[in-house]
Amino acid sequence: MNIPRHIAIIMDGNGRWAEQRGLPRSAGHRAGLKAVRATIEHCARMGIGTLTLFAFSSENWLRPKEEVGLLMELFLEALDREVASLHKNNIRMRFIGELGQLAAALRARMQAAEQRTAGNTGLVVVIAVAYGGRWDILQATRSLAVACAAGKLAADQISEVELNQRLALAGLPDPDLFIRTGGDQRISNFLLWNLAYTELCFLSDLWPEFGQAQLDTAIAQFAQRERRYGLTSAQVAASPRSR
């Protein structure tokens, strides 16, 4: 089977899962952590190179303060509890987003997790926190403008490569497969540049219901698709990429 090198997931539906069961939204977020753990473990077993999880968007700051506070607490708890296990299993962690908006204690834990796992060679788990796709492109554009103003880069030297090197996922391949749980069919300001040729898969399952079976279903869908990148089917069949 054709396995994606990089999977990106919007983990949607924690709150609805809890509400359907008459539970507080916090119960849904805690249940969602189990799905995160199961997904990481399955991706590692399958040999996936990179898994990017949309944990907290730049727009999520607009949610009720109590829910935002709980989410931050859960991040701290998860880092304290899971990093040792991830490190033991050769998994590398990376965080992307406007991390300066986060509390100093959380940033310190994130930095420690990145440093501890930096030498690992297995699955790379990227956690997008306080992240927005428009912010990502904007901060890359500002970096290009600074380079031009300093005389380090001419305007006609600006290329996709130069911009890519300044995006949050710099150094990693673009996602091959995007999955969104919860039934909504939109990408919600997630990796806007990087998803240009990504295969999209929308599932009705709420995130706490997501597990190995759902991931296998999405990967099976991916394996059946023909990725043409603007070419014809005949050109794809004749190209080295398809062999």
Q: Which residues are catalytic?
A: 12, 60
Q: Is 18 exposed, middle or buried (0-12, 13-18, 19+ CB in 10 A)?
A: buried
Q: Which residues of 104-143 are buried (b: 16+ CB within 10 A; e: fewer)?
A: eebeebbeebeeebeebebbbbbbbbbbbbebbbeebeeb
Q: Which of 177, 133, 142 is nearest to 163 (CA)?
A: 142
Cα–Cα distance measured from residue 195 to residue 199, given in angstroms and rounded to the nearest whole number = 8
Q: Which of 77, 75, 87, 74 is nearest to 113 (CA)?
A: 87
**Single-letter code of the amino acid located at 82:** E
In whole angstroms, how far apart are CA 88 and each of 19, 44, 49, 178?
36, 12, 17, 27
In whole angstroms, how far apart are CA 138 and each of 61, 217, 226?
19, 35, 32
Q: Which of 81, 207, 78, 85 is nearest to 95 (CA)?
A: 78
